[in-house]
Structure 1
Amino acid sequence: MPDWLLPLLVPMAAALAGALLMLAFRPRGGGGGDAVLLLAERMEALSQRLDTAVAAQSERMHRALAESADRTQDSARRIHERLAVIDAARANLESLSGRVTTLASILGNKQARGAFGEVQLRDMLADRLPTEGWAWQHTLANGTRCDALIRLPFPPGPIAIDSKFPLEAWQALRLAMDDTARTAALRRLATDIRRHVDDVATKYICPGETAEGALIFLPSEALHADLHAQHGALIAEAARRGVYLVSPGTLWAVLGAMRALMRDVRLKAEAQALRLGVARLAEEVGRLDRRVANLRRHHAESQADMDQIAITTQKILAAAARIEAVEMDPPGTARAAE
């Protein structure tokens, strides 16, 4: 039974009990009808009160249920939103897991790893350098084909880049479970570094054709950091031989410096061309000045000739005027004189 119904039933039960008692003890005479009417009125009033209370309680319950339903719906909506976020995160994790697996398979395959390093190197060169500033898969005079050649002017000269660094020993070092495996991996890594540096120094550095140094591109920042931390002596030895190991980050900075150098060389070439053009222009201006002087001299001479012509014309006009002014004798006067 609900808690709100008991307070309503108790007065009703009391009223019914009182009515029954009145009916049981009422006199036998004619006053029983009034008592019954009074009881009926009280019952009617009690019924109305009970109906009103039940309606109010029903309204309160309806309102409470509606609010509870709204809260439940809002909670369900938030739960659905969180589930959607969780599903999206799960999808991202699955996608990332697939990419990590793909990257692991690429790094595990020597040919695929070399292709991955070449693609990364080529994208960086295409992004940082002008098209005429580098060549891909360039063949040197000794027959060696380097992955890329950066065409820098002398000095320092073109720089060759290699992108096929061996990673097997480094991977074995990262997966080593004990000191013995770690020591063996370190020894193997040192051997691989020394052998690869020797190959690059021998094949990629050609006096008179390339610069006195070459670059080895490492496609991993972690590998670059590990090599400098664990094999600093080998890195210094490679630098003394003119071979420098660069990561994507350091190569980005190096390419920026090379681009600035190419820009300076281009500006110097353009300035030299501009200087030669100005010199040719000055020569043409001198030639024009000489021709103008000649034209001025010719003009002066022409003016002098015109002045002489004008003087001669004036003399001719004067002579013509004198001739015209001469009076001729009449014919009869001449015969009379004879």
Structure 2
Amino acid sequence: MNTITLLILGLFILTNGAVIFLLFKRQTGNKQVDGQNMQMLNQNIQGMQERLDKVSQGLNDRLDSAARVIGAVNKELGSLQEIGRNMQGLQEFLKSPKLRGNVGEQVLKQMLGQFFPTAFYSLQYKFRAGQIVDAVLKTEDGLIPIDSKFPMENYQKMIRAEIETERVKFLHEFLKDVKKHVNDIAKKYILPAEGTINFAVMYIPSESVYYEIIRDDLDLNRYSMEKKVLFVSPNSFFYFLRVIMMGMQGKKMAEATREIIDTVRGLQKDTHKFADSLNVLNTHITHTKSAFDRVATDYASITGKIERLDRVDEDNLLE
């Protein structure tokens, strides 16, 4: 039952009470009301009072509930205002290119640390000419330069623009920013003479900025491929690192397999050598046995001759 219904019910009860009161007053002008009618009137008035009390209690309960709801809404509005202030603070924080760069470098550091031991990558790697890249991955094929770029200023102006001409203007400025980053990375960090492989990675810490860059109609992917620079976002960088890690593990398995094969081949050679030595030893043993048999035969023959000689001497002596 809503508030309007309760109000209508209250008015209805009051109207009925007024009608009864007027009838009663009209009757009393002519004659005295007997005790039974008075009792009925009192009962009706008491019933109306109880209904009015219930209506009043219902209204009070609804007002209390509405007050609680309004309080909760005010609290939520306060929380939203605090979030708004925090978001505004974050936006002010990200207006500084240096601070944006620091955020990107920290995220880059954490992701590299999740996949590789520190021996497989270096942070703030310095080349001989003095230029410093945010990170390099160390692979058997060479160093993979990784640099974090956060082209936010003209991107934010573009998405906030309400007029199409302004949006197009800031889009062109945004494209110029991205191409400048690509050119800088290609020129400064792709240095095969210093051990890098023939491409570099441009890490973009924002998914929304990344998807704007790789739109087909902007043709930035073709431009970056010509410069041998690969765009990655936090999500795609995760898969890039996983592929590199699996490649390293595959090479380790291949090296371990080669070591096992080389060891087995060495064992085979050693087995052949041992078999040859065993055959030689067996031949020597056979020859030794034959010589021993001959010596034993000769010894038996000499012993027999000595025994016969002893018997001849004894017979001659007896005669």
TM-score, normalised to structure 1's length? 0.65
What CA distance in whole angstroms lies between the structure 1 residues aligned with 2:317 and 2:116? 110
What CA distance in whole angstroms lies between the structure 1 residues aligned with 2:252 and 2:269? 26
Deviation at 1:197, TM superposition (A): 1.0
Q: Compared with structure 1, are the counterparts of its residues 86 and 295 closer, same or farther at alpha carbon in structure 2 (3 Å cutoff)?
A: farther
Q: What corresponds to 2:267 in structure 1?
A: 281
Identify the range of structure 1 (227-236 vs 204-213) with the bigger mean alpha-carbon deviation: 227-236
Letter in 2 for 1:192: D
What CA distance in whole angstroms lies between the structure 1 residues aligned with 2:81 and 2:277? 84
Higher-Rg structure is 1
Deviation at 1:242, TM superposition (A): 0.7
- Tell me the percent identity: 24
Q: What corresponds to 2:133 in structure 1?
A: 146
Q: Compared with structure 1, are the counterparts of its residues 330 and 197 closer, same or farther at alpha carbon in structure 2 (3 Å cutoff)?
A: closer
Q: Secondary structure at the match of 1:329?
A: helix
Unmatched segments (≥5 aa) in structure 2: 1-34, 37-56
Q: Which runs of 4+ in 1 moved over 6 A?
A: 82-92
Letter in 1 for 2:281: L
Q: Identify which of 185, 188, 209 aligns with 1:200.
A: 185
Q: Compared with structure 1, are the counterparts of its residues 301 and 86 closer, same or farther at alpha carbon in structure 2 (3 Å cutoff)?
A: farther
Q: Secondary structure at the match of 2:201?
A: strand
What CA distance in whole angstroms lies between the structure 1 residues aligned with 2:139 and 2:178? 27
Q: Secondary structure at the match of 2:316?
A: coil
Matches within 5 A, 1:256-267: 256-267=242-253
Matches within 5 A, 1:16-165: 97=84, 100-101=87-88, 103-154=90-141, 157-165=142-150
Q: What corresponds to 1:312 in structure 2?
A: 298
Residue pair 1:190, 1:231 contacting (<8 A) in 2 also = no
Residue pair 1:219, 1:248 contacting (<8 A) in 2 also = yes
Residue pair 2:101, 2:149 contacting (<8 A) in 1 also = yes
TM-score, normalised to structure 2's length? 0.69
Deviation at 1:237, TM superposition (A): 0.9
Q: Identify which of 212, 224, 246 aligns with 2:210.
A: 224
Deviation at 1:92, TM superposition (A): 7.3
- How many residues are treated as equivalent by the alignment? 259
Matches within 5 A, 1:228-267: 228-229=214-215, 232-267=218-253
Q: What corresponds to 2:278 in structure 1?
A: 292
Deviation at 1:180, TM superposition (A): 4.4
Deviation at 1:198, TM superposition (A): 0.8
Q: Secondary structure at the match of 1:138?
A: strand
Q: Compared with structure 1, are the counterparts of its residues 235 and 90 closer, same or farther at alpha carbon in structure 2 (3 Å cutoff)?
A: same
What CA distance in whole angstroms lies between the structure 2 residues aligned with 1:315 and 1:181? 126
RMSD between aligned alpha carbons?
3.4
Deviation at 1:311, TM superposition (A): 1.0
